[in-house]
A and B are shown apart, each in its own frame.
Chain A
Amino acid sequence: MDTKPPVKDFATDWDHTDPQWVADPYPIWEELRGRCPVAHTDRYGGGWFPATHAGVSTIAKDTENFTSRTVILGNGRPGDDALPAPIGVAPPITSDPPFHAIARRLLLPAFAPGPINALEPQIRALCQRLLDQLGDHEIVNGGAEYAQYIPPGVIKHMLGFPEDDEDLFREFAHIIVEGVDHPEEQRIEEFAPIEEYFIKQIEDHRENPRDDLTTYLLNVDIAGQKLADEHIFGTMVLTLVAGIDTTWSAIGASLWHLASHPEDLERLVNEPDLMPVAIEEFLRFYAPVTMARLVKHDMEYLGCPMKQDDWILLGFPAANRDPEVFEDADKFIIDRAENRHVAFGLGIHRCAGSNLARLELRVAIEEFIKRYPRFELADPEAVTWAQGQIRGPRNLPIRILD
């Protein structure tokens, strides 16, 4: 990554790992919306970035011309024969129709509001435990000491994995999400321990079934057939990767906002009924997740000469800042009543874990501001944001005020 030339023009040479994009992508996207609005790059073997809500929405809903075979943009392109077709590596996120609907249908009941809402007391207790550990320190790290621990704690429990493996989970998530720049052989090597760990867990659950998501996946069937181990493994990887860095980023970004906007913090503390609309505005303004697609065949699309296997970087966070769709799109309005944000994507690949993510985000913020009603950034310059397709603060030193 260090050897890459810096981006001179994001309209013709974009790179989502460029330091300028990582530090503050919003002005870049605003400029692209006015100029392109679909930007191109020759990097990563060729790709396109629609910067408008309309462009993002059109492509997200078009499964005829774009495939989800891989959703994380990298240097290589997995060939069709490298994947257990028609499943894709992490069903249903990497599946296309018609298999997608089958894989999604069997996963959705586990993430529907009923079973997810039942987790609230457990998530609240987890947040309170983490806050107890922070104690009365003057400076706490909202990312590394708080937000980071919430999603793995919840998902570990859902999958029925050993209590002590949280650090391992986070490491796996980082390997998958933040190593997009690594060469293909290194990626394969990095994935080996993840696969080994998950296969061990699957075997353990097969021998000792219990009431959790892993056992559920072992028991469900598609037309009388049990799921292939690759399918189960892929879905586990999905819950781990899609559930950890993403939600952690959303929690961290929301804390970052409150730490740097005392007027919003004060309103939220004084008007707890605002929480549901505030959560949606956090999700709009700081949407952490950008997804990728591959172009299925050569075509002229949205005025662009797209080639088969070109990347599409689907910037849901950019769509959320499009002034064509949102009034005062670049303003954070904590009581924004109308908010059709697309933080969880659009169309058939809408984030399957959105109900869980919202619940974790709400409870994490509620508990944090209940414990610490006044806080600020301890050192704004020290805050670092993750690169890649998941955006959120990693190092987030917060000073607790009396």
Chain B
Amino acid sequence: MRVSIDTEICQGQGRCFSIAPSIFDFDELGNGVVIGDGTLSDETLSLARLAQSNCPEHAIFIEE
């Protein structure tokens, strides 16, 4: 399971790294970035899904 952010879609709304700071960080422009390679465990999957369901731009993708 992996999470990724489509950088073409992300506009730096800032929801992902606020909700799930263990999974997402921000770059110097304030856009969201995935920490590491985005691999999710059973424990972090629900948190990633919560961030996904709060992204106004629909920029977060989860491969299960």
Q: Which residues of A contact B (CB under 8 A)?
A: 105, 108-109, 111-114, 276, 280, 337-342, 344, 346-348, 350, 354-355, 358
Contact = CB atoms under 8 A, between A and B. Distances in A.
B54 interface: yes
Contact of B56 (A109, A113, A337, A342): A342
B10 to A, nearest CB: 10
Interface of B: 11-15, 17-19, 26-30, 50, 53-58
A377 to B, nearest CB: 30
Nearest to B57: A346
Given A338-B54, A340-B53, A346-B56, A113 B11 contact: no
The main secondary structure of chain B at its interface with chain A is loop
Contact of B26 (A113, A340, A341, A358): A113
B30 A340 contact: no
Nearest to A341: B56
A112 B53 contact: no
A346 B29 contact: no
Contact of A337 (B12, B50, B57): B50
Contacts of A113: 14, 17, 26, 30
B18 A276 contact: yes
Given A108-B29, A112-B28, A354-B14, 20 more contacts: A108-B12, A108-B28, A108-B30, A109-B28, A109-B29, A111-B30, A112-B12, A112-B29, A113-B14, A113-B17, A113-B30, A276-B19, A337-B50, A340-B56, A344-B13, A344-B56, A346-B11, A346-B56, A350-B12, A354-B12
Contacts of A344: 13, 56
Given A113-B14, A344-B13, A350-B13, A355 B30 contact: yes
A338 B54 CA distance: 5
Nearest to B19: A276
Residue among B11, B55, B57 facing the most chain A CB atoms (10 A cut-off): B11
Nearest to A342: B56
A340 to B, nearest CB: 5
Nearest to B17: A113
